[in-house]
Structure 1
Amino acid sequence: MPVLPGAEPYHHDGGPIGALLCHGFTGSPQSLRPWAEHLADAGLTVSLPRLPGHGTSWQELNRTRWEDWYAELDKAFADLRGRCSEVFVMGLSLGGCMALRLAEVHGEAVRGAVVVNPSVVNDTPLLRLAPVLKLVMPSAAGLAGDIKKAGAAELGYTRTPVRAAATLPRLWKLVQADIGRIRRPVLVFHSRDDHVVKPAGVAFLKARMGGNLEVRELDDSYHVATLDNDAPRIFDGSLDFVRSHASVPLTKDS
């Protein structure tokens, strides 16, 4: 199926430090493209894959599940590890959840994680009914485009595929169960006014992660903060995070 213009993956060959970025559920690489380019301009090797079923149609996404999305991300991580001395993982919303899952699974191979409005708990009551609803309702109202900044837009689906969404609780349970396995530092950017992901996810991380976690509040953005008013704070903050925790200098810092 053809990829929507602007939803293509992004890759940049830079220095010995790699950054793997992951977009959110029903979104596309477009929502993280400015962030990826900012890191690339600083000298990082950057990978921003397009997850299966995304950037095409919600009907195609309905034929996939979280294991398919994670497998694509894991493949991109293995590729970066083969080309870089160390790798940081980053993500928005569900992409932040999967970035944390990578940190749980790969341990010390992940140098650190930066997540924006991560979706890590089931804070949508409708999803509890998804295993039944998927049999009678193929899609629900869309989640994309929660942005405060005037004129900014996210390239995402106007409908949420219910069958695909019904697979999310399993991923959340795995991430919650294994969150204690993350030993590397994690930086969270959290929008105070988010109409997609509720504060329960960040509260869970604060309660379970202790000193490994730093949370920075965003006061002028909604859910898709990487395209919103606070985007420069995220871009610069994540780059400072990499500089602080990498064991080798960035190419342009050498």
Structure 2
Amino acid sequence: MHLLLLHGFTSHPVLTLGPLPEVLREAGFAVAQPTLPGHGTRPEDLLKVRWQDWLKKAEEAYLALPEPRGVVGLSMGALLAAHLAAVHPTVALVALAPAFALQNPLAPLAPYLAWLIPLFPGPNSIEDPLLKRQNPNYPYFPTRAVGELLGLMRGTPKVLPQVRAPALVVEAGRDRVVKGEDRYYALLGSREKRHLVFPESGHDLLLDRNRHAVAEAVRDWLIATSNRLH
């Protein structure tokens, strides 16, 4: 199986996925990790992109992979993954801490507050104090860019029922950034789906204290799903 790995909003395109890419490669999966527009450079570059740019980049990378294809997405990446799985042949969907809704009560107002609060600090996404200091993600981001994330969120509920691929939803039990993983799971049209919770993990659960257990759980589920294809 060839896997597309999609990072989240303001996330480092490679490091945010922690041990997962290497764990998957060691298990025999081919892995692709595209950098979504506005990421991997500087936070201000997020002002130049729209959510459709993220989806276009993800789709191009996905279609470049040989079949059979699966998609793994973290946070915003989990929303993009659902959009891909809804319209393209997909044998597996993994959604890690899907950003179905934001915890911050000011988030819906962000596009209107951009003139007043031009920058937001990076989210509190890691629970472990030592690992938090090593967070590789953007330390801040343009307030206006939140509006693009909200636009992607609004378009996701209608595509989830169209997903038919086996799906795994992984929730961070101490997520301070997003909420709604249970609704994401409930709306999935997949006949075969599973919901896992890691109670001690923050939103960046592949960078937090249970990162290896999360990576291994994703690997094991993908192996079992892949075996059922043969």
TM-score (norm 2): 0.89
The whole-number CA distance in structure 2 between the counterparts of 1:206 and 1:60 is 32
1:229 is paired with a residue of what secondary structure?
coil
The whole-number CA distance in structure 1 between the counterparts of 2:56 and 2:174 is 31
With over 3 angstroms needed to count, the CA separation of the structure-2 counterparts of 1:236 and 1:62, relative to structure 1, is: same
Deviations 1:162-199 (Å, cap 9, x if unpaired)? 1211112221121101211011111111111111112x
2:48 is paired with a residue of what secondary structure?
coil
Contact residue 26 and residue 143 of structure 1 kept, 8 A: no
- What one-letter code is carried by the residue in structure 2 that aligns with 1:128? P
Instruction: Give the CA deviation at 1:33.
Output: 4.5
The whole-number CA distance in structure 1 between the counterparts of 2:112 and 2:104 is 15
Consecutive unaligned residues of structure 2, counting only runs of 5 or more, are: none
Matched with 1:209 is: 188
Deviations 1:135-186 (Å, cap 9, x if unpaired)? 4432112126524263452211111211211112221121101211011111
Say whether 1:23 aligns with 2:3.
no
Instruction: Give the CA deviation at 1:134.
Output: 2.5
The whole-number CA distance in structure 1 between the counterparts of 2:55 and 2:100 is 14
The whole-number CA distance in structure 1 between the counterparts of 2:127 and 2:84 is 27
Matched with 2:78 is: 96
Matched with 1:113 is: 93
The whole-number CA distance in structure 2 between the counterparts of 1:49 and 1:226 is 17
Contact residue 47 and residue 144 of structure 2 kept, 8 A: yes
2:156 is paired with a residue of what secondary structure?
helix
Instruction: Give the CA deviation at 1:248.
Output: 5.4
Structure 1 residue corresponding to 2:118, chosen from 123, 138, 146: 138
The whole-number CA distance in structure 1 between the counterparts of 2:119 and 2:184 is 30
Matched with 1:32 is: 17
With over 3 angstroms needed to count, the CA separation of the structure-2 counterparts of 1:144 and 1:99, relative to structure 1, is: farther
- What one-letter code is carried by the residue in structure 2 that aligns with 1:229? R
Contact residue 110 and residue 147 of structure 2 kept, 8 A: yes
The whole-number CA distance in structure 2 between the counterparts of 1:78 and 1:112 is 15
Instruction: Give the CA deviation at 1:105.
Output: 2.4
Matched with 1:252 is: none
- What one-letter code is carried by the residue in structure 1 that aligns with 2:49? T
Deviations 1:98-142 (Å, cap 9, x if unpaired)? 111211122xx1111111111023544322212322344321121
Consecutive unaligned residues of structure 1, counting only runs of 5 or more, are: 1-16, 250-254
Structure 1 residue corresponding to 2:29, chosen from 44, 49, 72: 44
- What one-letter code is carried by the residue in structure 1 that aligns with 2:5? L
Matched with 1:9 is: none
TM-score (norm 1): 0.81
Aligned pairs, how many? 226
Say whether 1:71 aligns with 2:52.
no
Q: Following superposition of structure 1 onto structure 2, how do residues 173-192 of structure 1 map, counting pairs within 5 Å?
A: 173-192=154-173
The whole-number CA distance in structure 1 between the counterparts of 2:119 and 2:170 is 29
Matched with 1:58 is: 43
Say whether 1:240 aligns with 2:220.
yes
The whole-number CA distance in structure 2 between the counterparts of 1:36 and 1:71 is 22
With over 3 angstroms needed to count, the CA separation of the structure-2 counterparts of 1:149 and 1:236, relative to structure 1, is: farther
With over 3 angstroms needed to count, the CA separation of the structure-2 counterparts of 1:149 and 1:248, relative to structure 1, is: farther
